[in-house]
Amino acid sequence: MKRTKTRDNFEVAVEQDKQAMAFEEIRSSLEINGAGRLLLNGQEMVLLPRHFFRYILREVKGRSQAGAFEDIFHNAGFDGAFTFCTRYREIHKCSPQEAVEGYLAEMSVRGWGAFDIELFIPDDGILHVLLTGSALIPDGDLPSGHLIWKEAMVGAVRSLPNISERTALTATMEETADGCKITVRPEQEATI
C-alpha cells in the first residue's frame, strides 16, 4: 500500500482501489477473437509467464553481437510505447498527455512493476519516471530488461504531436534496487 502525508503531515495509507479498478477494467475488456487471439480494446495481446520473457532476454543477450541486444530492445521498447500511446489516444479519444499517462497506468497493472510519473511537461517533451517493483531486475544469469523501458519512455514522449520529429530526445536511466529511474528530455533541434 502506498503512503502519503495529509495537510496535517500525518501519514495515511492510500488505498489501492484505483489499481484494482484499473485491473478489472482491463480484465473486463479482454476478448478472444474467432482466430483464438486475445484482444484488449481491439489490440492483439499475448499473455505469457514472466520467466518466459526473462529467458528470451537472456538468450537474445547471450547470442547477440556487441550492441545488438541493446538495439533490439531499444527499438522494440520505442515502437511498442509509440504505437500503444497512439492507439490509446485513438481508442479513448483522449489528449496526448492522457495517452502517455494511460500507457504508464496500464503497464503498472500488467505485471511490469509500478510506474510513477515524477515530472511530466508534455509541451516541453520532458518525462521523469520511477519504476519500482520491476519484473525485469537482473537476477543471476537473467539480465536487466530495463533498457526496454528507457527507449519506451522516448517512444511515449515522441507520440506527443507537439514533439517534432526534428526534436532530438535524450534519455538517461539509472538502475535502482528494485527498478529504475528514467528521464527523457529534448536535446536540441536536430538538423535533418
Q: Splitting the chain (192 residues) into consecutive groups of 10 residues, what average pLDDT does each group show?
A: 42 56 87 91 85 92 89 95 95 95 92 94 97 93 92 97 90 96 82 43
Which pLDDT score is estimated for 13?
39
Bridge partners of residue 42, in order along the sequence: none
Q: How far apart are CA 27 and CA 20, in angstroms?
A: 10
> Quick count: other Cβ atoms within 10 Å of Cβ 168?
14
Q: How far apart are CA 107 and CA 179, in angstroms?
A: 14
Cell of 86: 497512439
Which pLDDT score is estimated for 16?
60
CB-CB contact of 135 with 144 (8 Å): no
Which pLDDT score is estimated for 17?
72
Which pLDDT score is estimated for 25?
87
CATH of the domain spanning 55-189: 3.30.1380.20
Which pLDDT score is estimated for 145?
92
- Sheet of strand 167-176, all strands in order from the earlier edge strand to the far edge: 114-121, 126-132, 179-189, 167-176
Which pLDDT score is estimated for 111?
87
Domain ranges of the chain: 1-47, 55-189
The values of phi and psi at residue 172, to 5°, are -125, 150
